[in-house]
Structure 1
Amino acid sequence: MEEQQPVDYVASLKNIDYIVFLIYFVIVAGYGYWIYHRKKRQQTDSKDFFLAEGSLTWWAIGASLIASNISAEQFIGMSGSGFKMGLAIATYEWMAAATLIIVAVFFIPVYLKNKIYTMPQFLSQRYNGTVAMIMAVFWLLLYIVVNLMSILYLGAIAISGISGLNIYFCILLLAIFSIVITLGGMKVIGYTDVIQVFFLVLGGLMATYIALNLVAEKSGQTGVLNGFSLLTSQAGDHFQMIFKRDNPNYMDLPGLTVLIGGMWITNLNYWGCNQYITQRALGADLKTARSGILFAAFLKLLMPVIVVLPGIAAYVLHQKGMFQTEMLDSKGILDVNKAYPSLLNLLPDGMKGVAFAALTAAIVASLAGKANSIGTIFTLDIYNKAFDKNASEKKLVNVGKLAVIISMFLAVVLSLIIGEKLMGEGKQGFQYIQEYTGFVSPGIFAMFLLGFFWKKTTSNAALFATVGGFVLSVFFKLLPKFADLTFLSGFGFSGPVLDKEANKIFYEIPFLDRMGFVFLICVLGMVIITKYENAKGIQPKGLEIDRSMFKTNTSFTVGAVLVCGILVALYTVFW
């Protein structure tokens, strides 16, 4: 059959699309306003404002976890990675499902039993104020410089790509919308996230349907099943979950590391030691929190269908001559982050408005969640501890709101100044976020893990993991500049990377393996320091833990086994 000529699709929205988006905006804003005023106590009670204490149901917790997690980094960044490397990038989503089960069984009971509401509070209660304050500052910098900034920039690429609006104008709009939602507090965020997830899943499935159907049509067939079958045959190299060493994407996902190495550190730190995520469950009782987290695990299994398959479809369509200009950046370089927006422009009028709303929902929900966590940590763990220990509840809420506005302003400035440099020019935005978050993840996870389950762990050991973990991450990142790591390539622990500035190839440690090395060194260092200090008579205060805390009910156990069974099947099929 004769190859169809590519069609030029213009990035623009019609009146019907704006009407659909306006309906979405009114629903979210109206529902949020109603939730905000249903309990006046939210306006003055800091715990209710930041945590929605006792107010969120299991389905609201699960939906909020996913809405806050799935954002521009997935829709844009992960779809771009799907375009470049294929289904393997879905390991972040599918391994997260298994990780959520572990967090629900082992982590959440410890937090709730010890009445822990913020991550710095855990560090202060388990170790000391110095460790807590250092980590509070670390988290604030990470959330603003990496998370808020990257989501704003990648989100603006998406919104600009589908609407035709100026990217800088889109950044400002997203920031303002997010602030409005965030200032309503955790309760508003939690319940509006349920609506956000509905639009997110609906819009995502529509984009996947259109993409698969178009792949089928390009080969003279019809239907999404035929489209998927054609994807697996025409892009077979994009359906490998475990990369071999000769794969050009091995440095991003180094072989079995995704099953037994650094991927666990990434996920366990993100889902179990992250204020932004755990905050959703810390205001609930154990049964409700576990049910919500299990619900989120099931939703996680679905996410690659929404965010990865469209990227692979865009790759196949690009090979057939489509998106030749739409996916170029301002310098004429192929920008994989534009794969998803290019697909959305294929949607018919009206449906494009739904997809536009879905993208906005994902971005705003994630921005609002991170901004709320920033306000929580700054207010309860920095301002209330270091500046005003006797602040009233009303003042704490107001300080939190001010922190939200300032942090969003800083993120906007950073995205305008350095967003394109860090995530443009053909770079994978999702990989940028994962790598730079990984500079602090190993030390944090080591500190939390030993703090949970080894009562003898001392404050100085935790301080070593806090500061030492970051220093070690920087050291391993810069090491290839000064030492030849070619000898590690035989074990799969290094690979060739082109330094464009020096025009030289050097061997670098894959960042997931780097995280694994740093984690092991941190744990070893913590054990040595703790043993030494225990021998000198230092006996730190451990957390309240008993075995009964980790017992699960029958319904949770059945659901957890089902999630694990599905994961085994997926990895068996796509190994």
Structure 2
Amino acid sequence: MKTLETKDYIVFLVYFLIIAAYGFWVYRRKKTANASSKDYFLAEGSLTWWAIGASLIASNISAEQFIGMSGSGFKLGLAIATYEWMAAATLMIVAIFFIPVYLKNKIYTMPQFLNQRYNSTVSMIMAVFWLLLYVVVNLTSILYLGALAINSISGISLNLCMFALAIFAVVITLGGMKVIGYTDVIQVFFLILGGLVTTYLALNMVATHYGTSGVLNGFSFLTEKAGEHFHMVFKKDNPNYMDLPGLTVLIGGMWIVNLNYWGCNQYITQRALGADLKTARSGILFAAFLKMLMPVIVVLPGIAAYLLYREGAFQTEMLQGGEVNPDRAYPVLLNLLPAGLKGLSFAALTAAVVASLAGKANSIATIFTLDIYKKVININANEKKLVWIGKATVIIAMLLAIVIAPNLGIDKKGGFQYIQEYTGFVSPGIFAMFILGFFWKRTTSNAALFATIGGFALSVFFKLLPTFADLSFLASTGFSKDNGTGVFEIPFLDRMGFVFIICVVSMYIISMIESRKTEVVEEWVEDEEIPVYADDIIAAETTTARKVKKAKGLEVDTSMFKTSPGFAVGALIICGLLVALYTVFW
């Protein structure tokens, strides 16, 4: 039944008041008369480790996880959890290798990194690209899918849901990263509590269906009766192999998906860029532990709905347009919750959507203000002006999302797999540009430009390749599979892997060709341990007298990657859990 009762509205109102009151208290308590732009956008030095970790998860988990990943659980099974569990492993790599580089070099935005490492052309191209991606794709998707999910639970008008979510998110975002970070802690509490309630209901329903009760019995029946839904690595004959192609989820494209998302994404890394290294690493470790828990909340309910549907339940509720729509699994379960608990789950879903909207809007404002407005439009803007521009950007971006979202056909395209595949058109090139920029000092700006533009072009090429070439010869290797119409397509995760390798090799060749023209000069800037190269040297008229400017590059040394004993223990626990889970559910 698509309605909320009085108890549900009371629970939701309590959630709203707690968030609003706490956010206002944080804003008043931490407000300074002359807050800088970095303080507003990054909450520089203000977020604790638990606030950073909670904010990372709150920003990451949204409607596409609750609705889309539960739908994938219904269709694919536990294998879809690889996105969550491999993310936990990825977060360890980001904490150890990526974050120290950002913090040591005082990187506050991803375009700033590209400008400092490469040049302003690469930086500006990517700044504009990220703005378009965040506004037209991400912000609109989160807003529309969130409103659609809330509409399916409450029966409230879709347009009203969109406006309400947008207003709620804007109120939080205007308080800056401090308010976002600390309110995300409460958002995550509601998100996890409400999610666990739904999982409890789903597992208990399974147990009840087989004449018993309790979540453990429900889980036991789930693994027994739907055993085919508890394999993490698909074989080539699995009908869902195209979505998750075998070992690629462990040693292939899944790493590119996660490393690009968690390590090269303004939306995510922004949470840690205002902290010191120890705090940032502790926050990321906390986020990794929360990531381990997420499949319990977003995947198990989908598998439970699958088993119950197969046993004769939800026969009409799961249909859309006469066909089964897996993305309806989570809303169907929520509509079965009793009054009060339904309000709690409703609050959890709202918390996930609002936190993601707020985080995305803040990232849009940060990139536009610091990387475009400050550098191109008004280079003399003071700190107060920059903060004002940031707030105005938040409002404009949200209004654009409200106008654009209904016209993109997101509900028809939707689903977690779709979002992942089409994000994958740009991920390989961007990740190649970042990873070589981090750890190979010879990488040139032209090589980075190739990865940016060429990576996207290659992704499109591999996507269209099956339409004019027979790829059946790759079927035996698992790198192609019949899509049901006689056309052999390359699984999108493998496609990402191919594009990444080509980008890295091409960047290496381009950089080596250019480096031969400019011989490396092994000198060091006085009082700064930064290597200087020949193209950074301004020669005087005589060969003996010359001036040196600061090298175009990053300050990187191996001591940056050392971790504390506490972090090392936490990381080992994460790795141990992952090995155990993949061993049990292989």
TM-score interval, normalised by the smaller of the two chains: over 0.9
- 1:402 aligned onto 2:392: yes
User: Take 1:361 and 1:56, find their aligned partners in 2: how far apart are those partners?
Assistant: 20
Structure 2 length-normalised TM = 0.93
The aligned runs of 1:367-446 (5 Å cut-off) are 367-420=357-410, 422-423=412-413, 429-446=415-432
The answer on 1:512 being equivalent to 2:493 is yes
Q: Report the equivalent of 2:39.
A: 48
Q: CA deviation at 1:421?
A: 5.5
Does residue 542 of the first structure (1) align with residue 533 of the second (2)? Answer: no
Partner residue, 1:342: 332
| 2:29 corresponding residue in structure 1 | 38
Q: How does 1:5-404 map to 2 (within 5 A)?
A: 10-41=1-32, 44-329=35-320, 331-404=321-394
How far has the Cα of 1:326 moved from its partner? 2.2
Is 1:526 aligned with 2:526?
Answer: no
State whether residues 117 and 554 of structure 2, in contact with CA within 8 Å, keep that contact through their aligned partners in structure 1: yes
Provide the rounded CA distance (Å) in 2 between the counterparts of 1:43 and 1:257: 50
Please point out which of 545, 555, 572 is paired with 1:561: 572
- Give yes or no for contact 2:190–2:344 (8 Å, CA) kept in 1: yes
User: How many residues matched?
Assistant: 556
Q: Deviation digits for residues 266-312 of structure 1, max 9, x if unmatched?
A: 00000000000100000000000000000111111000000000000
3-state DSSP of counterpart to 2:233: coil
User: What is the CA deviation profile of residues 476-514 of structure 1, one whole-angstrom value per residue up to 9, with x for unaligned ones?
Assistant: 11112222222221211111225xxxxx44211111111
Following superposition, the deviation at residue 164 of structure 1 comes to 1.3
Q: Write out per-residue CA displacement over residues 162-196 of structure 1, whole angstroms, 9 at most, x where no aligned residue.
A: 11112232222212211111111111000000000
For residues 411 and 60 of structure 2, the distance between their equivalents in structure 1, rounded to whole angstroms, comes to: 24
**Unmatched segments (≥5 aa) in structure 1:** 1-9, 499-503
Q: Bigger shift: 444-453 or 415-424?
A: 415-424
- Measure the CA separation in 2 of the matches of 1:547 and 1:383: 36
**Distance (whole Å) between structure 1 residues aligned to residue 143 and residue 226 of structure 2:** 31
Q: Could you say what secondary structure the match of 2:113 adopts?
A: helix
The one-letter code sitting in structure 1 at the alignment partner of 2:465 is L
Q: Deviations over 1:73-113 (max 9, x none)?
A: 11111001000000000000000000000000000000000
1:141 partner letter: L
Would you say 1:459 and 2:445 are equivalent positions?
A: yes
Take 1:140 and 1:353, find their aligned partners in 2: how far apart are those partners? 35
Question: In the TM superposition, what is the alpha-carbon distance from 1:572 to its structure 2 partner?
Answer: 0.1
SS state at 2:307 partner: helix
Contact 2:145 2:411 (C-alpha < 8 Å) held by counterparts: no
- State the shift of 1:365 in Å: 0.3
- Asked if structure 1 preserves the Cα contact closer than 8 Å seen for 2:35 and 2:383, the reply is yes
Which piece of structure 1 moves more, 103-112 or 506-515? Answer: 506-515
Structure 2: distance between partners of 1:345 and 1:265: 37
Deviation at 1:420, TM superposition (A): 4.1
- So what's the TM-score if we normalise by structure 1? 0.95
CA gap of 1:431–1:256, structure 2 versus 1, over 3 A, is: same
1:51 alignment partner AA: L
Q: Is the 8 A contact 2:425 2:460 kept in 1?
A: yes
> 1:7 maps to which residue?
none
Instruction: State the 1:382 CA deviation.
Output: 1.1
CA–CA separation in structure 2 for the residues paired with 1:352 and 1:188:
27
Residue 551 of structure 1 aligns with which residue? Answer: 562
- Please report how far the alpha carbon of residue 422 of structure 1 lies from its aligned counterpart in structure 2 after TM superposition: 4.3
Q: What is the alpha-carbon distance in structure 2 between the residues aligned to residue 402 and residue 527 of structure 1? A: 42
Which amino acid letter does the alignment assign opposite residue 531 of structure 1?
A: M
Write out per-residue CA displacement over residues 136-186 of structure 1, whole angstroms, 9 at most, x where no aligned residue.
Answer: 111112212322122122212221121111223222221221111111111
Q: Distance in 2 between matches of 1:47 and 1:334?
A: 48
Q: Please tell me whether Structure 1 or Structure 2 has the larger radius of gyration of its CA atoms.
A: 2
Contact 1:42 1:48 in 2 (8 A): no
For the Cα contact (< 8 Å) 1:156–1:170, is it kept in 2?
A: yes
Structure 2 residue matching 1:323: 3-state secondary structure:
coil
SS in 1 for 2:483: strand
Please tell me whether the aligned partners of residues 57 and 288 of structure 1 are also in contact (alpha carbons under 8 angstroms). yes
Aligned-CA RMSD value? 1.3
Contact kept in structure 2, 1:101 and 1:297, CA below 8 Å: yes
- Is the 2:46–2:275 contact (alpha carbons within 8 Å) kept by the matching residues of 1? yes
How many angstroms apart in 2 are the aligned matches of 1:430 and 1:166?
24
Cα distance in 1, alignment partners of residues 324 and 210 from structure 2: 25
Displacement of 1:44 in angstroms is: 4.3
Change in 2 beyond 3 A, CA 1:188/1:569: same
Q: Secondary structure at the match of 2:487?
A: strand
Percent of aligned pairs with the same amino acid: 75
